Amino acid sequence: MTYKDVYAEWKSNPEAFWMKAAEAIDWTKAPSKALSELGNDMFEWFADGETNTCYNCVDRHVEAGRGDQAAIIYDSPVTDTKQTITFAELQRDVAAFAGALKAKGIEKGDRVIIYMPMIPQTAVAMLACARLGAIHSVVFGGFAAHELAVRIDDAKPKAIIAASCGIEPGRVVEYKPLLDGAIDLAEHKPEFTVTYQRPQVQASLVEGRDYDWDSVQEGSEPTGCTPVEGNHPAYILYTSGTTGAPKGVVRHTGGHLVALNWTMKNIYNVNPGEVFWAASDVGWVVGHSYIVYGPLIHGNTTVLFEGKPIGTPDASTFWRIISEYDVKSFFTAPTAFRAVKRDDPKVELMKGHDISGLRAIYLAGERADPDTIEWAQRVTGKPIYDHWWQTETGWTIAGMPAGIEELPVKIGSPSVPMPGYDVQILDEAGHPMKAGELGAIAVKLPLPPGTLPTLWNAEDRFRKSYLQQFPGYYETGDAGMIDEDGYLYIMARTDDVINVAGHRLSTGAMEEVLAGHPDVAECAVVGVADSFKGQLPMGFVCLTTGVNRDHSEIAAECVKRVRDQIGPVAAFKLCTVVDRLPKTRSGKILRRTMASIADGQEFKMPATIDDPAILDEISDAVKTLGYPKA
Ligand code: COA
Ligand code: AMP
C-alpha cells in the first residue's frame, strides 16, 4: 500500500482504521468502539476498553519470550556508565518499585510527580506509576523550584519521586534543594517523596516525609498491573502556553498505546527487537513518547542517553552510540546536529564508527533549517526526515511515513499529514486557504488517538486555547502552508511561545518573572533568531519612575531572576533597559516588530503604532546586546 492508500483508508473509515490498529495492543477488555463523541467538540478514544500501559510495555514482552532482549540501554558518558536492562529485569524492577508505591498508599488515579534526570530509574518510576494506574507528571530537570511548585499546585501529587542530582557538563545539579524549595513554595504538600541517591550526591532526607529509593522498597511485595479504562489518564505533561501558567496536557491510556505503537513501524520503520534511539530528555514529550513508551510498547530496545551531542566528551558521541548499539532509527532535534556541525563540520570524529545499520534520522522539536539538513544528509549518507508535532499531539502530525512508503523529501517541509490528521490552512475568519497560501494551521476535529482530550483540571482553558478560534478545528498555534503536492511547511508560531534549542518556552512566563523585579515597571520578552539554538529570548525592561540605579546591574539581576525562577533551560541571557516600549494606540506591545528589529529584518511599520520614534530607541537598545548579528 502507498501512503495515499493508507491515508485514504483512514479517511474513508477512521473507526475501522483505529480499531484495526488497536488489535496490536493487549486489552483485558477489548474496546467495543474507537471514538466516543462527548458533545461540544470533545472526544475520547477506546473509552470502554480496559488495559494497562506497563503491561503492554513490559510484561507482555516477557510473556511472549522476549525476557532476555534488551529493553533499555543506558549510556551515560557524563558518569562513565553503560548498562543494559532486559525486559525481564525491567519487569522485576518495575514490579518491585510499584509494590513499594502501593504499600505507601499510591493507587489508581493518584498523581505522582517525577523530577529526575536521564537514568533508568526514571523510566522505572514512570512505568511503576502506569502499573498502578497512577498518573505521573514528569518535570524536566532544567526547571527551577518555582516552575516545579506551579506543577505541584496544579497536579496535586500524593507523592514526588526524585533523584539526588542531575549531571550537566561541568556541574552537578542538586535536585533535592530544588525539590524542598518547591514543596515550601507550593500550597499543596505531597504525602511523601522518594529520592534515588546517585553516587555523586547524597541528598538529605526529612524524617517521616522523604524516603530513599532502596529502603522504601524493603518489605513490600512486587505488584501486578492494574487494568484501567481506555480513557484513564496515563500522564499529565506540562507545556508552555502564552501565560506563565503551564498547560497540563492529559494523555489517555488507550489512544496513547494504539497510536504510539502504530508510529513505530509506519513512521520510524523499526521492527520489534531492533534498537531505537531518541536523543532527547524524559522531561519532554519526545522523551515520553520515544524514549520510554513508544519503543517499549512495540518491543524495541530504547537507548537512554545521559549526555549532550557535544562535549561529553566530543562530537563523536552520536556516531559512537549508533554504531555501538546498531541503532536502526535515530531521532533528535536540529539544534543537536547544529552543535555537531559546529564542532566537527567534516565529521572527522565519525571515523571508526560504522553507522551503516542506521536506516534514517528523524528531526523534530523546532524548524529544521535547510543548511543543517543538507549537511546531515551529506555527512551521514542517510535520509533525514523532518517531522512536525507537539506536546499536545504526542506523535507526528506531519512527517515521512517511511514504514509505508518513502516519499521524496522536500527540504524545508516536514512532509505530509499522517493518517488521523486532516490538516488545513485557515485564514483569520476560519476559511480554508489555497495551496501555497500562508495561514493558521488547524486540524479538523476529532484529533486522532493519543492526542490530548483536554487539559488537566482546565477544560475551559482547553477550549479557549485550542477550539475557540476555529470552530470544528484544533488550532495548532503554528502558521504555515500546504503546497500543491500536499506537503506542509511550518513557518512560525502564532502565539508567544518560542523554541530555544528544541525546548518550548513561554515568553509570557519570562515576562511575569521580570515584572516581579522591584524596579521593573513594564517589560517585554521576544524570541530573536539564533544560528545555534534557533531562537533566544531577549528581554526589554522599563524601570519604575525614580529608580536611578546602574542599568547593567538591573539587567543582570533580571537575568538571574529568570534563571532562578524558571531555570537555566530558559537560556535567558539577553536583557536591556529601555525608556519605553513600542505599543499600538490601544496599548498592545509590538513584540513582533521588536523581534524584527533585533533580527535585522525588514518590517512593515504597524499602522496603529502610537509613537514610531520608540522603534529607534529599540534599535539602539538591541545594538548594546550585539544585535542584529552580522
Ligand atoms: N538539568 C539542569 N540544567 C539543565 C538541564 C537539565 N536537565 N538541561 C539543560 N540545562 C541547562 C544547561 O546546563 C544550560 O545551562 P548554562 O546556561 O549554565 O550553560 C542551560 O540549561 C541551557 O541548556 P541547553 O539549551 O540545553 O544548552 P546547552 O548549551 O547546554 O546545550 C545543546 C545545547 C544543543 C547541546 C542541547 O540543547 C541539546 O542537546 N539539545 C537537544 C534538544 C532536545 O533534546 N530537545 C528536546 C525535543 S526533541
Ligand atoms: P513541543 O510541544 O515542545 O514539542 O513544541 C511544539 C512546537 O515546536 C510546535 O508547535 C512547533 O512550533 C515547533 N516544532 C516542532 N516540530 C517542528 C518542526 N519539525 N518544524 C517546525 N517547528 C516545529
- Which ligand 1 atom is nearest residue 567's CA? 21
Question: Which ligand is closest to the CA of 389, given by its number?
Answer: 2
Residue 285 beta carbon below 6 angstroms from any ligand 2 atom: yes
Q: Which among 499, 506, 535 is the best mutation to test ligand 2's pocket, defined by most ligand atoms within 8 Å of the CB? A: 499
pLDDT confidence of residue 591: 95
Distance between CA atoms of 185 and 136, rounded to whole angstroms?
Answer: 21
Q: Which among 390, 418, 465 is the best mutation to test ligand 2's pocket, defined by most ligand atoms within 8 Å of the CB? A: 390
Centroid of ligand 2 to alpha carbon of 226 (angstroms): 34
Distance between CA atoms of 362 and 138, rounded to whole angstroms?
Answer: 24
Q: CATH homologous superfamily for 505-624?
A: ANL, C-terminal domain (3.30.300.30)
pLDDT confidence of residue 242: 80
Nearest Cα residue to 130 out of 46, 244, 250, 226: 226
Burial category of 557 from C-beta neighbours within 10 Å (exposed 0-12, middle 13-18, buried 19 and up): middle
Average confidence (pLDDT) per 10 residues, the chain, 630 residues: 98 98 98 97 98 99 98 98 98 98 98 98 98 98 95 98 96 97 98 98 97 97 98 97 89 98 98 98 98 98 98 98 98 97 97 98 95 97 98 98 98 97 97 97 98 97 97 97 98 92 94 96 97 96 96 98 96 97 94 96 91 96 95
Centroid of ligand 1 to alpha carbon of 592 (angstroms): 26
Look-up: residue for cell 538591541? 622
**50 in helix, strand or coil?**
strand
pLDDT confidence of residue 160: 98
Q: Which among 305, 331, 332, 569 is the best mutation to test ligand 1's pocket, defined by most ligand atoms within 8 Å of the CB? A: 569
Centroid of ligand 2 to alpha carbon of 333 (angstroms): 10
Centroid of ligand 2 to alpha carbon of 441 (angstroms): 12
Distance between CA atoms of 175 and 144, rounded to whole angstroms?
Answer: 9
Distance between CA atoms of 348 and 374, rounded to whole angstroms?
Answer: 17
Angle at alpha carbon of residue 100, lines to 99 and 106, rounded to 5°: 85
pLDDT confidence of residue 612: 93
Query: In Å, how far from its chain's centre is CA 528?
Result: 21
Nearest Cα residue to 230 out of 463, 444, 460, 19: 19
CATH match for 413-500 among 2.40.50.140, 3.40.50.2300, 2.30.38.10, 3.40.50.2020: 2.30.38.10
> Dihedral angle at the C-alpha atoms of 62, 285, 276, 371, nearest 10 degrees?
180
Amino acid at 526: V
Q: What is the pTM of this model?
A: 0.96
What does each C-alpha distance from 394 to 91, 204, 224, 389, 505 come to in angstroms?
A: 25, 36, 27, 7, 17
Q: Could you write out the three-class secondary structure of 217-286?
A: HCCCCCCCCCCEECCCEEEEEEECCCCCCCEEEEEEHHHHHHHHHHHHHHCCCCCCCCEEEECCCCCCHH
Q: Does the fold of domain 505-624 match that of domain 413-500? A: no
Residue 366 beta carbon below 6 angstroms from any ligand 2 atom: yes
Residue 102 beta carbon below 6 angstroms from any ligand 2 atom: no
Residue 504 beta carbon below 6 angstroms from any ligand 2 atom: yes
Work out whether the CA dihedral 487, 465, 581, 609 comes out positive or negative. positive
pLDDT confidence of residue 417: 98
> Dihedral angle at the C-alpha atoms of 508, 511, 516, 520, nearest 10 degrees?
-150
pLDDT confidence of residue 291: 98
- Give me the residue spans of the domains in the chain: 413-500, 505-624
pLDDT confidence of residue 496: 87
Beta bridge partners of 478: 493
pLDDT confidence of residue 244: 79
Pocket (CB within 6 angstroms of ligand 1)? 117, 141-142, 166, 168, 173, 280-281, 284, 286, 308-310, 333, 335-336, 339, 364-365, 501-503, 568-569, 571
SS3 content of the chain, % helix, strand, coil (to 5): 30, 25, 40
pLDDT confidence of residue 576: 98
Give me the count of residues in the chain: 630
